[in-house]
Amino acid sequence: MRRLVGKQEARQEQGAPRKKKVRRFYDYSLLFTIIFLTVFGLIMIYSASAPKAQILYDGDAAYFMKRQAAIAFGGFVLMLIISKINYHFFARFAFFSYGLSYILMIAVSLFGKRVNGKRRWLEVGPLSFQPTEFVKIALILVLSVVITQMGRKVNSWRNILYVGGLAAPLALLVTANNLSSGIIICGIVFVMLFVATKRKLVFAACMGGAGFLLAFAGPIGAALEAVGILQEYQLSRINVWLNPEAYAQEGGFQVLQGLYAIGSGGLMGKGLGESIQKMGFVPEAQNDMIFSIICEELGLFGAVSVILIFLFMIYRFMLIASNAPDLFGALIVVGVMGHIAIQVILNIAVVTNTIPNTGITLPFISYGGTSVLFLMMEMGMVLSVSNQIKLEK
């Protein structure tokens, strides 16, 4: 025993290498960002919806905020549970969720609840939800699995087209009833393929094509409507975008009122709760147009602050993706990052009339139970990837 102890002491004196302690990382910065955006969203939902809620729900000014808070709290708990599960576990359900997405989208097309002439909500007993939110998560998972299995072979044109082909039928099903979600799904595929492949020229061409469509949206839209590809209401959205003043009493009303709200906010805003445009001028102020109320009440300072917080969230996504243990984890984070970034850009672009109105919510801030619930699930998967990153002391 003495000899053994002596040898161990000698090794320590000679500077023998000690085993490094390994601990797992957990991105608390991202977690606190999610909490901040959710709480801020609840405050803004209350501010934007209080007048409408008082009229519709017997003086309950906090009706919309309480509903959102209940779902957000449930989603937050679910997010924490998911974040402690090894993200590789979700790969087992990737193809099942992909198949279920088709079932849900076909079901909502046939039996969905009509809202504003479109079937977007599927009712299951007392609950109702938008299947398009589930489709986004399912697509992120299945594309992550497929691209990981391909490895370097994903750089071939054949495999790039194969990955795009996996998403195309779902994108078409979603776009038929929800153009904005269809655009987001295409954007998610675009971002994931852009990161995974070495072929960048085709993506630059796609971005150039998108710019061309925006520049000549009027004549292109008229031509597509003439051959039956676009519906009349979709062409009217393009016309409203190009000249909202000419359609002030029709489709341009919401756009103009939103711009009035942004302009009247000035540098520091009118103050929290002091918006005039939410008094029935901006329709559904707590939903797609909530960013205009933020601009009116908190001014340019508040609007820029919100954008900077989202940019910080994107930065955390990039940090987690670049340090992920494997390609599968990195692609999950990239897919979620693409979803959040595209949705934020499109929402702000719509509110500022930079692009035609497509009805896109602002993540974590706009009112919408389905949206916040599935966003929390996505955040749980990202935090799960971060929790598998190992730090050595």
**277 burial level (CB within 10 Å; 0-12, 13-18, 19+):** buried
Per the listing, tokens 């190009």 go with 242
pLDDT of residue 200: 78
Q: What are the tokens at 315?
A: 């930065």
End-to-end CA distance of the chain: 31
- Give the three-state DSSP class for 24: strand
pLDDT at site 8: 44
* Calpha distance 376→88 (Å, rounded): 18
How high is the pLDDT of residue 235?
76
Query: Can you list the residues of the chain whose pLDDT is less than 50?
Result: 1-13
Q: Give per-residue burial for 50-72: e unless 16+ CB within 10 Å, then b.
A: bebbeeeeeeebbbbbeebbebb
Residue 7 pLDDT: 43
The pLDDT assigned to 386 comes to: 94
Going from N- to C-terminal start, the domains of the chain cover 24-203+230-392
